[in-house]
Structures are given as C-alpha cells and as structure tokens.
C-alpha cells in the first residue's frame, strides 16, 4: 500500500495509509506548541478531514508535548495571544472531528499538551518513567477555563481536583487510574496498538460516530469556544509574563 507523506516546516508530519492519518508532532526538542506548530496541527487535521481519515496523533521519542512555548509566552504581545487563541480553540476542533481520533502518548505530556491529548476519543499511554501534569498553578498561572473543562471531561473527581489545584504530576499507572489514559502499553508496542485500534474503529458506522460525538459533546464544545475569549481576556488583563519556565 502506498503511503502519502506531507511534512510542514519540519514540526508536524502527516502520513496516510488505508484511511488512517498519522500526525506526528516533532520539533526536535520538547514539542512546545508555538504558534507555527499549532498552525501546522490545524492544517494536518484539515488534511485528514479532507481524506476522510481516522487520526492517530503522536509525538517524538519520549515526549508528546511540553505544552505552550513559554519563551513566546514570556515575550508577550501578538505572538503570545495568537498562540493562546490557537491552543485554546484546538481541543474543540479535535472534539468535533468527525472521525475517530486516537492519541498515542509516547512520553511526557504537560499543560496544553495534556488538554490536546484529552480531546481524543481514545488515549494510549506508554509505560516508562514519564509524567503527565497540568502544571499551570506550579508555574504561576491560574488554570484557564478551557483547561479545566478538558480535565473535568476525562478525570475522576478527586484526581481532577488535585490536577487543577495542586499541579499533581501523575506517573503512567496513576494517569491510567485517573482517566488521562484509556490503555497503557510498552513503548515498542505503542504505534502497533494505535494502528490496531484504528483498524477496529474503521468498522464503526462513521456517520453514527460523528452524530453521537456532536450529541454528547455539544455542551463541552460551546463551553470551550466561549472560554477561549474569556481566557484571552484574562491573559490581556492579568499579563502573560508571570509564567515561570521549569
């Protein structure tokens, strides 16, 4: 079977086989979600939708994503606001994607990387010395509304409270129990398992899949779309420079 590969600015790679699109975020470092990287992710999802493809979203080596690029955040200005706008709106884009979305989380995931991950229909974690954390409070930021909505969408109540207010770092087993992951496999098996899931999901009635998504997620998507503008207003009023890189 031929494989179509699309690479944009060397940060996001897109490949398609048997109506399964693999979107790999790889900036060569920690997969920080800078404005250009976010734009490439949007473009990849647009391409996948045009291809009517199930999506596998993954990262590089031992990191899915470290979240927003804090260097852009600390500089403030238009680039920071564009980054926040694109990032805050991205979970709604993924939640509403009309075909199944699988995340193959190959390592650490923090902050915006977590909220993107939790927008998928099925999330597979990788065993190893990895941490999952919504660490906004630890770096001096009030938890954004859209971030809290995504955490509440997936996590059990006690873990939701600790994730938001205490910036708890969850190891892989704890992340599975909390609800960040639906399944955990050995790193060597991660992509094979994701591809097996995609083949299984291909047997669904995809029209019913899309309609059911819209029905059960409509309120959450509205909440996120409203929250984007409220969170951006907070960023303008409170300033962006308080975040401390760790």
Tell whether 245 is covered by a domain: no
CA distance 96 to 189: 28
pLDDT at position 2 over 60: no
DSSP 16: E
Q: Mean pLDDT, to the nearest integer, of 193-197?
A: 98
Residue 244's SS3 state is coil
pLDDT at position 243 over 70: no
Higher-pLDDT residue of 28, 59: 59
For tokens 């303008």, name the residue. Answer: 236
Q: Mean pLDDT, to the nearest integer, of 77-93?
A: 95
| Residue whose C-alpha is closest to residue 132's, from 115, 150, 149, 152 | 115
Q: Mean pLDDT, to the nearest integer, of 2-6?
A: 56
Pairing label, strands 67-68, 108-110: unpaired
Tell whether 243 is covered by a domain: no
Tell whether 230 is covered by a domain: yes
CA distance 157 to 80: 32
Q: Mean pLDDT, to the nearest integer, of 134-145?
A: 92
pLDDT at position 242 over 60: no
Tell whether 197 is covered by a domain: yes
CA distance 225 to 222: 5
CA distance 161 to 169: 13
Tell whether 65 is covered by a domain: yes
| Residue whose C-alpha is closest to residue 243's, from 152, 130, 111, 132 | 111
Q: How far apart are the first and last CA of the chain?
A: 44
Q: For a pLDDT cut of 90, what percent of the chain falls above it?
A: 86
Tell whether 55 is covered by a domain: yes
Cβ-count burial of 206 within 10 angstroms (0-12 exposed, 13-18 middle, 19+ buried)?
A: middle
Structure tokens at 70: 């804090």
Query: Domain containing 132 — which CATH number?
Result: 3.90.226.10
Q: List beta partners, residue 16.
A: 4, 21
Tell whether 213 is covered by a domain: yes
CA distance 31 to 149: 23
CA distance 22 to 192: 12
Contacts of 129 (CB under 8 A, 6+ apart): 171
Q: List beta partners, residue 5.
A: 15
Higher-pLDDT residue of 70, 171: 171
Tell whether 97 is covered by a domain: yes
In the chain, the number of structural domains is 1
Q: Mean pLDDT, to the nearest integer, of 79-106?
A: 97
- The rounded mean pLDDT for the chain is 93
Strand ranges across the sheet with 108-110? 63-65, 108-110, 132-133
Confidence of residue 42 (pLDDT cuts 50, 70, 90): very high
CA distance 113 to 133: 9
Confidence of residue 246 (pLDDT cuts 50, 70, 90): very low
Q: 42 lies in which domain range?
A: 4-238
pLDDT at position 151 over 50: yes
Q: What is the pLDDT of residue 244?
A: 53
pLDDT at position 245 over 50: no
Confidence of residue 166 (pLDDT cuts 50, 70, 90): very high
pLDDT digits (tens, 9 = 90+) for 52-84: 999 999 999 899 999 999 899 888 889 999 999
């Amino acid at each position: 079977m031929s494989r179509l590969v699309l690479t944009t600015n060397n940060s996001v790679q897109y490949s398609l086989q048997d109506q399964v699109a693999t979107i790999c975020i790889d900036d060569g470092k920690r997969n920080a979600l800078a404005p250009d990287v976010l734009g490439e992710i949007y473009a990849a999802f647009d391409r996948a939708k045009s291809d009517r493809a199930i999506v596998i979203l993954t990262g590089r080596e031992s990191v899915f994503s470290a979240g927003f690029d804090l260097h852009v955040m600390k500089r403030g200005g238009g680039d920071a606001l564009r980054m926040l706008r694109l990032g805050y709106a991205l979970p709604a884009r993924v939640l509403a994607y009309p075909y199944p979305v699988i995340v193959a989380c190959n390592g650490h995931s923090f902050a915006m990387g977590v909220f993107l991950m939790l927008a998928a229909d099925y999330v597979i974690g990788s065993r190893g010395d990895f941490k999952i954390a919504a660490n906004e409070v630890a770096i001096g930021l009030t938890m954004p509304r859209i971030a809290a909505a995504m955490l509440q969408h997936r996590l059990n109540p006690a873990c939701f409270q600790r994730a938001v207010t205490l910036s708890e770092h969850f190891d892989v087993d704890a992340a599975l129990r909390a609800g960040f992951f639906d399944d955990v496999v050995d790193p060597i098996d991660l992509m094979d398992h994701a591809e097996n899931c995609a083949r299984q999901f291909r047997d669904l009635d995809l029209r019913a899949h899309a309609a059911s998504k819209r029905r059960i997620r409509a309120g959450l998507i509205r909440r996120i779309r409203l929250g984007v503008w409220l969170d951006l207003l907070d960023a303008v009023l409170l300033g962006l420079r308080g975040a401390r890189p760790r």
